[in-house]
Amino acid sequence: MLLVQCGKRAEPLIAEAIARREHLPMALLIAGDIGASALEPELRRFTADPDPEVARAAHDALRTLAAQGGR
């Protein structure tokens, strides 16, 4: 919740967590919630992840970004 409240300032932390695959489903969802459009290519890559939970989180994050309309 605190990361989401920090918004774009949390983007580097989320990007690092995604790169390390740490708490990946949660990190992907937070990327969408904070409007991290710079991470969209990473989110797209994870939609094909063999872990269904990761793939679902990536799809959900992309839907959130799209709903925000480039906030």
DSSP 34: T
- What average pLDDT does the structure give for the chain? 88
pLDDT of residue 55: 98
Q: Burial of 53 by CB count in 10 Å (0-12 exposed, 13-18 middle, 19+ buried)? A: exposed
pLDDT of residue 13: 87
**Sign of the C-alpha dihedral, residues 20, 55, 59, 42?**
positive
Res. 44: pLDDT tops 90: yes
Q: How confident is the model at residue 71 (pLDDT cuts 50, 70, 90)?
A: very low
Average pLDDT score over residue span 47-67: 97
Res. 70: pLDDT tops 80: no
Res. 15: pLDDT tops 60: yes
